[in-house]
Structure 1
Amino acid sequence: MAIPSLTLTDGHRIPQVGFGVFRVDPDQTERIVTDALEAGYRHIDTAALYGNEEGVGRALAASGIARDELFVTTKLWNDRQAGDEPLAAIDESLERLGLESVDLYLVHWPAPARGTYLNAWEKLVEIRDAGKARSIGVSNHLPEHIREIAAATGVTPAVDQIELHPAYQQRDVTDACAALGIRVEAWGPLGQGKYPLLEETPVVAAAAAHGVSPAQVVLRWHIQQGHIVFPKSTHPDRIRENLDVFGFALTSAEQDAITALDRGGSVSKHPSEVN
């Protein structure tokens, strides 16, 4: 199965569908990531906070897949943003992953109360220049954070990974990213099961029309919006199903009906609250 890739601001390319391991039990991570790799995923998204980088690394090493066929993302946690801490944190993540470099390294949250996100970004530029991360970006950053770090360093993030699903589309953030050429990655693309997204009438109708599952419809909606997505599951059948979203296309009417579900329905915390 050919997974489309998108070009980042720095010229590197990123697979549009990846596999996320948020809240995946560290003891189960190797098995679950192995299932994902066997299903055809080549883009794995983890973070230091998740506590499962070692399991990801073991699965990658055991897969036999060439390093240049894999795209690996990890993230810098909030309490490592100050001083030279990001430089130590990336080395620790690389050791746990068993890699010499990652394809994408993100500042996990701006953590504005700490006042260190600009320093963190400056250090990520150093990390990129040292060859330890091919591309660098941010996660959960609002337009004001992005504009500040880009103005201060002259380096625009390659991506902003944000909470994004039909009920919560963050148009202010996505518009700002589009204006700067920043790719949007959607975490929680299915709303983390915290509201009945898969029972919404436009989703159910499109699923029936195309002979696919409601989850596949929502993932396809993301794809056609140009988002990069990380569906997460621990079940092999669903892992495969979530990747099988390229054999159909939503009509413009179906796409618009799902887009109309936006109601500011966040299922997580606001970036100003996570420090």
Structure 2
Amino acid sequence: MRKRAFEKSLKKLQLDYLDLYLIHQPFGDYYGTWRAMEELYREGQIRAIGVSNFLPDRLMDLIVHNDIVPAVNQIETHPFYQQWETQAFLKELGVQHQSWAPFAEGKNNLFSNEVLSSIAAKHGKTVAQVVLRWLVQRGIVVIPKSVRKERIIENFNIFNFELDADDMERISALDTGNTLFLSYHDPAVAKMMGNWKVEL
């Protein structure tokens, strides 16, 4: 079933292999899924395998009981949930930290936040560019979602300026230490995810 899902994805994408393939959630039989992905990796059908939304304990459990260390852990990371401790843990394991929801999906009025807006004005950039630059300077991989050509171009235009120590410190002060989406510590979330059926 798991390999069939991969083959279906490959066919839809019209590709011969994938550069990166992730487990989306740390629920259900993710051990079985990971071992199927390890096989696909060894066969050369995937260049790298990784995970999403794995808290440090689940990630360590996966690593201890399997052969291949995930190349990536894609987790919620934005100015209001900065994940500093998790980032240090991932770095220690050699797992690349990747951000999802870098703009917090606009929650907490991110795009009109006074701190981010003042930093953006200082550098002649947008709030979105400041957030992306902040993530890149931390060594976090980020793939912002956009369907508008001008926004995609804007998102790439972050390599001609640098946030200074004061900018970084001011952004650090925005951290609430809490998710704005789902808590993977919550048994109700685990139950919901366990009942969620994905069409393969």
Query: TM-score of the superposition, structure 1-length normalised?
Result: 0.66
Corresponding residue of 2:13: 97
Unaligned runs of 5+ in 1: 1-84
Paired letter, 2:135: H
Corresponding residue of 2:197: none
Q: CA RMSD in A?
A: 1.3
Distance 2:39 2:63 in 1: 14
Distance 1:196 1:264 in 2: 17
Corresponding residue of 1:125: 38
Query: TM-score of the superposition, structure 2-length normalised?
Result: 0.89
Corresponding residue of 2:130: 217
Match of 2:82 among 145, 169, 182: 169
1:253 CA displacement = 1.0
Corresponding residue of 2:22: 106
1:269 CA displacement = 1.2
Distance 1:221 1:251 in 2: 10
Q: Which has the higher strand share?
A: 1
Corresponding residue of 2:94: 181
Paired letter, 2:140: H
Distance 1:171 1:268 in 2: 18
The question of whether the paired residues in 2 share the 8 Å contact of 1:143 and 1:172 is answered with no
Q: Deviations over 1:187-217 (max 9, x none)?
A: 0001111221222232111111110111101
Distance 1:208 1:136 in 2: 39
Corresponding residue of 1:16: none
1:132 CA displacement = 1.1
Structure 1's consecutive aligned runs of 4 or more residues displaced over 3 angstroms after TM superposition are none
State the percentage of identical aligned residues.
37
Distance 1:118 1:240 in 2: 39
Q: Deviations over 1:2-35 (max 9, x none)?
A: xxxxxxxxxxxxxxxxxxxxxxxxxxxxxxxxxx
> 1:138 aligns to what SS in structure 2?
strand
Report the count of equivalent residues. Answer: 188
Q: Deviations over 1:63-112 (max 9, x none)?
A: xxxxxxxxxxxxxxxxxxxxxx221111110000000100000011111x
Corresponding residue of 1:207: 120
Matches within 5 A, 1:214-253: 214-253=127-166
Corresponding residue of 1:270: 183
Unaligned runs of 5+ in 2: 195-200
1:265 CA displacement = 3.9
> 2:171 aligns to what SS in structure 1?
helix
> 2:22 aligns to what SS in structure 1?
strand
